[in-house]
Structures are given as structure tokens and as C-alpha cells.
Structure 1
Amino acid sequence: MIVGVDGSPDSTSAVRWAATTAAARDLPLRIVHVIDFSPTGYAGAPYIESAKVFEWAEEDGRVMLSDAVAVARAVAPDLTIETSLVPAGGSHWFVEQSGRARMIVLGASGSGRIGQALLGSTPVVVASHGRCPVVVVRGDAPDATAPVVVGVDGSAVSERAVAAAFEEAALREVPLVAVHVWSDVKVGTFSGIDRAEFLDPRAFEESEQVLLAERLSGYCERYPDVVVHREVYLDGPRAHLQAWSEKAQLVVVGSRGRGGFTGLLLGSTSNGLIRDAQCPVMVVRPESA
């Protein structure tokens, strides 16, 4: 498991989350700081000795890594930890490493001493292109008894998200809430329409519940101890998952689907949750990505 740090409070939360998760699964943790001058304005400035700036940034990075190890040890004393100071690459480095990692964990945003946010856009890029699950963490540790929530739309990438969510719920010994939204349009899109003209609420609920149950059935058999709650909504996937993030310890979504039960638009939904969710968000992408 890999966790990126930049010295910000959110990256510290990411280290705690990653260390706790890695220890529970007997996985080693690699703590990484990437030195990235691109957002600072230092690179290429004619009046600055770039070698000295690099030395200062390198030392700053070592301090961040040392601090992060102390944070990880505080929550998982016996965890196997290694650290890496990466000279350049930012989000591209994490994407490249994602092909060999079990999971990548990042803070929702951050700003190191060098200047602007070093991890500010990194979570979106890595979640959009990473080949392993990417978890974006913000704020304090979530309630360990809260459920895992997963967005389900019936697409191939949603299938992977469901598999990951069941595994997370089983390992954490908590319930799983499966959220299915019939349409990917915003909440309220149908509010000005007489729904009775095109939608029988009872038939809709029954039909979508059946489809959702079919999507979950194989995993329910594989994880018989996981209690599953099914929630069906007409529209607004981002709004409903955002609301559930306030009651969850983890929200799991796929990325890059397409409309309706055959592929909810989880690209924009996942990006929105990364920015606004009230708990860690795991983004899972297609195997071929």
C-alpha cells in the first residue's frame, strides 16, 4: 500500500487511515513524498540557485517523511514501513506505481512549505488514471462502526466497485449500503413534471430493487456475514452519495460509466465526491484502464 504525504493536515489523516488499513490486512506501507517544483514558481527562475532550492526541498521532504512515520507508528506500532523521496513526477509517478500497488491513499488536498498545494489536483488525476483502487482521505478518522457505502449502476466498473466494497465491509465487519440511482441527472430534474404520467412509483421501486438485488446476489453469497441495505433513488447520484458520506466510514465508487442502470455517470460523481465527501472515498476503475 502506498500513501502520499505533503505535510498538510489531510495528508496526515491519509497516513493514519493507510497505516490502520495496512496493519489490519498485514500489508507493508510505503510512505512517499514527491518533490514537485511545478506549482512553486521556483523552477527556471534566473535569480534563484536551483541546486540550493532542491537541497532545501529535499530536506523538507525528509522531515515530512519522518513525521509521517511517527504518525503511522502511533496507530500501528508493528507495521512494516518504508519511505521514498521522489525527485519529480507528482501525479504521474503515482499513476505509474498504481500498476504495482494494492491501493494508493492520498489526502484530499494539501500545501507543503514550498508553496501552493502539492497534492491539490493529484487525487483527481490519480483517481482518474490509476490502475488500483485510489482512496482520498479528508478530515478526522471516520467512525469505525459506520457502514461502507457503494454506488451501483450495473456497469463493468460498478461491478469492480461492488466487489471492493463487499471486501471492505467484510474486513471492517460493518454493514454495506448499496446505493442505486436510476438516472444520472441532478436531483430535482423531474420535479416540475407530473411523474405519474411516465412513472409508476411502486413499479419503479420494485423493478429497480429487483435489478439491484441481482447485481448484488453473487457477492451476498460470497460474503454471507455482510449485512446489506439497498437504497434506490430516481435521480441525483452525486447528491445521494454525498449525503450518505456523512453517515459512512467509506464510500466506494467506480469511474467513467455511462447513464442509467447500464452505466451511471460515475466519472463526474467520483470527482465531485473526492472534493466534497465527508468520509474517505475509494475510486475503482476498469481493469483495462
Structure 2
Amino acid sequence: MSSGAVTTQIPRAAADTLRQQLRVVAEEEYLRLRTIDRPALLLRGVAGAEAGEDPDVTTAELEVVDERIAALDHFLHRTSTDLTSAGRVLLVDRGDGPEYLLVSELPVVDERVVAADAPLGKALCDAVAGQTVTYVTPSGSCEAYVIATEPIEPGPALPAGAYGVPAAEVLVGFDGSPSSRTAVAWAAKEAALRARPLRVLHARASAEPSVRADGTLSEGIQLALTDLGADRIRATAVTGQPAPRLAERADRAELVVVGRGGETDNGLGPVAEKVLSGTSRTTVVVPPAEPPARGRVVVGLHDSWHAADALSVGFAEAHRRGAHLLVTVIRDAARGTHDLEPAFHAPDEQDHAEALHLPAAVAEVGQAYPGVQVRTSVQTGHFSTVLTELSNSADLVVLGMGGRAHGMGRKELLVASHARCPVIVVRESSGRGEF
């Protein structure tokens, strides 16, 4: 093995060339998985379910493909702005002469790339020029001499499990009921607006045959295909009660969507109520019949001092839809005050304070959305009654939780139960960056 080195530092241009070649390999795999492999698996699963075949293998394969797509997507996005984060390049001699190797956290099938968690990758991670490292292979212990390295600044740290956790997605529960069908259709449109993948989750009872469960899941996929390409739809069948299974998956989601359920048009089903009360993620409740587009988004608030998160969601949704925005603070008709205001303030003083503060709060958030037309108001009435009435002429009602990050108040549950359009319940500081 060679022990002499002409240089101890690799030119940055040479290292970047190898990193760029890794990006090309990753891009090719990403496109193949999204446009060929994944759609083929989806179609095979649908055909198999219709033929009564056991879908468990196909479902497991889809999960593996989805995780790999997410890994490649994260890698390509990060390295598009910081190429050095693709990995560290070293010039080494393993006994067959000098060779450039790239130690990367993204494993690929390429002789020039060494996975960072492989024995050789771990050995080379902190190696310096002139060092001989030892690593274990199936054939036994081996050595590699480090001829040269490159001094690179570390890229942004990867989140824990970045290559095993799917990218932010819209999550929707589906059980085959009319309410859940409407929810999937709405969620697919929302995923398209947000440029996010959609995950359709079906929670089956332990006694339900897997073939029947996958048939239900296939129906959900078919509904979503109306607005999304097959490469943007993910499907998961789990065993257990729907609400806790949705809550478990919610931490990976940007938005959770559920059908209102219930036995009547003005009822909130147990699954929707449990999801609303049990998750800290921003959640949408979709009514049994989605209304036609009306070009207006309504933000309903208890006060304007806890409005930033709800306003951000409201502006973003209005912007996506090309809709007008109405932001209203609703004061309780019975007491002249909302739940979180000190009781000793006189109603007229409180109204005056809201009238002064609300436009300022709206203007601050609205700077990022100059194209959205917005109107503000302070209204007196019952919170649920006012918003239910406003929902008759809205595409979406956005509820601010008045500073609460968990749980649901009776007023919010009533709005979600009776509104004639989808209702977004915004948890304080619950988003994943972009609403």
C-alpha cells in the first residue's frame, strides 16, 4: 500500500465534481421511483385488491419506496443550495492505487460513494491526510491509507432520521364512508395547492380481512387521483382505532384532514372530535358536502392578541385560492367579552381596543401577502352562530385557538359541527414552517 503523498489537500473543484456526479445519480433514481416504480406499485395494488389478492406485500413495498423518495427529495433539496453537504471527499489507497471516495449520508449504488454509516465510511469520517484507517468487511479486517482530504465547512445538520421519515405531507383519514370520501377529495385538492404529497390512512379493526381493508384504501387512492398524480399519493393501512392512529401519524404531517362524520349534517362524529381534541397539529374538518368555490376565506378569532398563527394560515389559504380574506373578532353576546379577556374591562373599551389593534395585527402578517384583499371587523354575537353564518359564503373558516395549543373548547367544536364549509383549527405554533 502506498505511503507517499504528492499533496495532502484535494482541490475544491475536483471534490465538487464528484459531489455533482452523486447528485446526478440521485436525480435519476428519484425520477425513476416517482414516475415509474411507484405508479406501477399503486396500479398493481389496485388490480390485486380487485382480484381478491392479499395486498400486504404491495403495501410494504410502497412504504419502502416512499421512504426512499423522501430521502432523495431531502438530499436533492439540501444540496441544491449547499453542494458540500453531499458529503466529504478523500483521496485514499486501499491497496489498488489512489482513488477518490465520497463519504455521504445518502447511500447509493456507486463504487465512488461510501455510505457514512458503513464500516469504511465511519473510519474515514474524521480521518486526516497521512492516516491509515482500519475497517471490517465480510472478508475480514482491511486498511485504507488517506492520501489527501479537503477542508470543507459542514453543511446544515440533518434532522434525526431524515432518510427514514417522509417529507411533510397532508394526512387524511379514510374509512369508505361518505364523509371520508368528501374529506379525501378536499385533502387531495389542498395537497395540490400546497405542492405536498397526500397520505391516505385507513385504520382497520383487527378482525377485518386485509383484502377488504386494502380495497377500502384503493377506493381512497382512486378518489385522490382526480386531483393528484399517482406519484404524489401515499397509502397506509394500520390496525386499531382511527383517531389514535391518525394522531400517531400527525407529527409527520403539515396538515391533518378528517371528515366531519356524525349521523346528521349538523353533527360531529367521534373520530373527528377525538382527533380535534387529541392532536396538537393544525387540523381540518370537512363537512359531508363540500360547497362550491365562493372566493372568500374567513378567520374567526377570540381576540387579536393571539392571532398571528391563525392569520398566517388565513392569508396563505386566501393566497393559494386567489380569494378575499375576512378577519373577524367575535365578542360574546351574553357577556360582551370573550373567554380570555379580563372581566373588569367595559365592553365599549374592549371593542375600542380591538378596533385599534386588529388592523395592526393583520397588517403585520399581511406584508408577506400583498396581493390578498383583506377586510377586518369586530362583531358581537355567539362565536359559533356568527361563524356558522359566515361559513355559508366562505370556502374555508380558519379558527384561532386564542393562545391554546391543545384541546378544544365548546365554541370551536360547535363551529366544526355546524359550518357549511371546511374548518381549519389552528394550533398555536403548530406548523412545519409553511402553512
User: Is 1:175 paired with 2:324?
Assistant: yes
Superposition TM-score, scaled by structure 1 size: 0.76
Asked if residue 143 in structure 1 is aligned to residue 292 in structure 2, the reply is yes
Q: CA deviation at 1:98?
A: 1.6
Aligned letter for 2:304?
Answer: G
Give 1:123's aligned amino acid: A
Where 2:298 maps in the other structure, the secondary structure is strand
Cα distance in 2 for partners of 1:235, 1:87 equals 44
Instruction: State the Cα deviation string for residues 43-67 of structure 1 (Å, max 9, x = none).
Output: xxxxxxxxxx332xx3332222111
Task: Point out where structure 1 has 5 or more consecutive residues left out of the alignment.
Answer: 38-52, 112-118, 191-197, 259-264
The count of aligned residue pairs is: 247
Shift of 1:24: 2.2
**SS, match of residue 75 in structure 1:** coil
Distance in structure 2 (CA, Å) of the matches to 1:268 and 1:131: 17
Quote the residue 1:120 is aligned against.
269
Matched, 1:103 2:255: yes
The residue number in structure 1 matching 2:116 is none
2: CA distance between counterparts of 1:66 and 1:3?
Answer: 14
* Residue 421 of structure 2: aligned partner: 279
Which structure ranks higher in relative contact order (CA pairs < 8 Å, sequence separation ≥ 6)?
1
CA distance in 1, matches of 2:251, 2:305: 22
Structure number with bigger Rg: 2
Q: Which amino acid aligns with 1:35?
A: R
Residue number in structure 2 paired with 1:24: 193
Which amino acid letter does the alignment assign opposite residue 209 of structure 1? A
What is the deviation of 1:78? 5.4
Tell me the residue number matched to 1:227.
Answer: 373
User: Distance in 2 between the 1:288 and 1:139 partners?
Assistant: 26
Partner residue in 2 for 1:160: 309
Partner of 2:208 in structure 1? 54
Mapped to 1, the partners of 2:369 and 2:397 lie a distance apart of 18
Q: TM-score, normalised by structure 2?
A: 0.52
After superposition, the Cα gap between the structure-2 partners of 1:108 and 1:79, relative to the gap in structure 1 and judged at 3 Å, is farther
Name the CA shift for 1:240/1:87 in 2 (closer, same or farther; >3 Å).
same
1:146 deviation in Å? 2.6
Partner amino acid for 2:412?
S
Q: Share of identical aligned residues, percent?
A: 31
SS in 1 for 2:378: strand
Distance 1:142 1:170 in 2: 19
Task: Give the corresponding residue for 1:261.
Answer: none
Structure 2 equivalent of residue 245 of structure 1: 391
RMSD, aligned α-carbons: 2.7
* Correspondence for 1:13: 182
1:57-102 deviations in Å (ceiling 9; x for gaps): x333222211111111123345611111111142112222222101
**1:46: which partner in 2?**
none
Q: Secondary structure at the match of 2:251?
A: coil
Counterpart of 1:125, as a letter, is K
Say if 1:106 and 1:136, in contact at 8 Å, map to a contact too: yes
What is aligned with 1:70? Answer: 222
**Contact 1:9/1:110 (<8 A) preserved:** no
